[in-house]
Amino acid sequence: MEIRSMISFDWALKRLLRSKAHFEVLEGFLSELLHRKIIIKHIGESEGNKEHETDKFNKVDILVEADERELVIIELQYDSEDDYFQRMLYGVSKAITEYISESDEYLNIRKVYSINIVYFELGTGDDYIYHGVTKFIGLHTQNELQLTEKQKQLYGKTVPGELNPEYYIIKVRKFNDIAKNTLDEWIYYLKNNKIRDDFTAQGLDKARQILALDKLSDAEKKQYDRHIKENRIRNSEVVTAYTDGEIKGRAEGKAERDQLKAERDQLETERDHLKKEQETVIRNMHREGMPVENISAITGLSPEKIREILK
């Protein structure tokens, strides 16, 4: 059985999956997680998609419009944060308020799904997928509050909690690599950056076509290798920061941190060089008469970013 090496999901979210031509991959993941067919209308720009030297490679987040009434936030986080649950709440609240105007009726508030893919130990549970919903339970009867018949027809829902945000937490490193269903096939990829040939989950066929390492151009491979190197450096820094203190005062610990800093400085220089090379290529393509939309499809940058460079 062949197991194909793929680019990491965070890289794919930043560079490839925001293109409409590749929506099928993300639609497949969301359909498997939410247990219904998801069609993406639009993917918004977000802080996690920055294209400059202060880019946050640790955090990736995108906002998906599934239909007129639904928004999906996807966040991917590597490093531990004690206040991550509050950040989930903030992200949902921000999405709700940004997608409704002061003059709109409450009827127009969007349903929000918060999907959190985390590579650290969040909480103390022993499962690798958690689902959080709002329920209104009678204190005396223990029955769940229901919507009226009129409300059921209006919203297409049964209980009030279905109108409220829902949260998913995928604790990737808790997964034991045994894929028992199609959703597990996706989590296998999230954990290992690999897809087995016998996997049949929605979206994985398209992922095999566009996310395989050998599909990257030479320029993309350089960028991806730099990304992987940055992740290794970050992991080393995290280990150094959270070690009990034995390393802190030792000379070899300082030497290691100095080496990491030197590598980080070198990466910054390489990043600046690659950025200038990319901008030169974009300008040359534009001089040859290539439309902005075609340049965007080739480079993976948004048309707005292309126009900003051409200015």
Q: What interhelical angle do 292-299 and 303-310 show, nearest 10?
A: 110
What is each CA distance from 223 to 5, 13, 220, in whole angstroms? 17, 14, 5
Each domain of the chain, given as residue ranges in start order, spans 3-210, 216-310
Return the pLDDT at 171: 96
The pair of three-digit structure tokens given for residue 159, joined into one six-digit string: 């209980």
First-to-last C-alpha distance (Å) of the chain = 50
Cα–Cα–Cα angle for 94, 174, 134, rounded to 5 degrees: 40
Band (141; pLDDT cuts 50, 70, 90): very high
Tell me the per-residue pLDDT of 14-53, one tens digit each, with 9 for 90 and over. 888 888 889 999 999 999 999 999 999 888 765 444 444 3
In the block, residue with structure tokens 């059985």: 1
- What are 118's two structure tokens? 């985390």
Mean pLDDT of 153-173: 94
Residue 302: exposure state from Cβ atoms within 10 A (0-12, 13-18, ≥19)? middle
pTM confidence score: 0.72
Long-range contacts of 193-199 (CB under 8 A, 24+ apart): 193/5, 193/6, 193/7, 193/8, 193/9, 194/3, 194/4, 194/5, 194/6, 195/3, 195/4, 195/6, 196/1, 196/2, 196/3, 196/4, 197/1, 197/2, 197/3, 197/4, 198/1
Distant-in-sequence contacts of 233-241, Cβ < 8 A, 24+ apart: 233/260, 233/263, 233/264, 233/267, 234/57, 234/58, 234/78, 234/79, 236/260, 238/79
Separation between Cα atoms, residue 206 and residue 214, nearest integer Å: 15
pLDDT band at residue 268 using 50, 70 and 90 as cut-offs: confident
- CA 72 – CA 134 distance, rounded (Å): 17
Tell me: pLDDT of 239 over 90.
Answer: no
At 106-137, the pLDDT tens digits run 888 999 999 999 998 899 999 999 999 999 99
Alpha helices (H) along the chain: 9-15, 23-34, 84-98, 149-155, 182-192, 204-210, 218-242, 251-287, 292-299, 303-310
**Which tens digit of pLDDT belongs to each residue from 185-214?**
999 999 999 999 999 999 999 999 989 888
Q: Cα–Cα distance between 285 and 295 in angstroms, integer?
A: 7
pLDDT at 82 over 70: yes
Q: In DSSP terms, which residues pair with 166 in a beta bridge? A: 113
Cα three-residue angle 198-203-209, rounded to 5 degrees? 75
Q: How many CB atoms lie within 10 A of CB 74?
A: 25
